[in-house]
Structure 1
Amino acid sequence: MADLPTQLPIHPTEPAHRYRLRAPNIPETAKVAREMIAGLLLATGHPALVDTARLLVTEVVANVSTTVGQPDRPQARCARCRA
């Protein structure tokens, strides 16, 4: 596992962004969420965090899937919002 930096670098000249993924409660959702977070981390220059983030996203999606359990309410939306 990669050593995580104690503090991520902050670039005050770049605007902050927030990303949101809404997806159905199906097995493929974990893969979509992993790929989204990996792509965002790579695009923002944080490749050392990709493996850890993929693992954590998988755990979160699995926990939500078992807790919510509503496969009959599909929602798929990805939004990019300026913070």
Structure 2
Amino acid sequence: MKTKIIVQNLKCGGCANTITTKLSQLDNVTNVLVNIESSTVSFVALNAEYALSVKEKLKAIGYPSVGESNRVLSKAKSFVSCATGKMK
């Protein structure tokens, strides 16, 4: 099931690198593509349950989907994720 999620806090290649790395580690999730300009994350998940796990993983690393709460903690997590992505 091909899915696209619009996320918050996505700013640069470091963010994209972290998102791609973290989501590629999830079981039954493939073809992860991040578009910085449109703030979208596209992927193929085995089913809706795995697609939901991607959404939760994105939120956990600081990139909540549009419509979800984007508090200071999420922004701080995305900053750390971004910095980590730049170092790799």
- After TM superposition, the score normalised by the length of structure 2 is 0.33
Higher Cα radius of gyration: 1
Question: Between Structure 1 and Structure 2, which shows a larger proportion of strand residues?
Answer: 2
- After TM superposition, the score normalised by the length of structure 1 is 0.35
| Greater relative CO, 1 or 2 (CA 8 Å, sep 6+) | 1
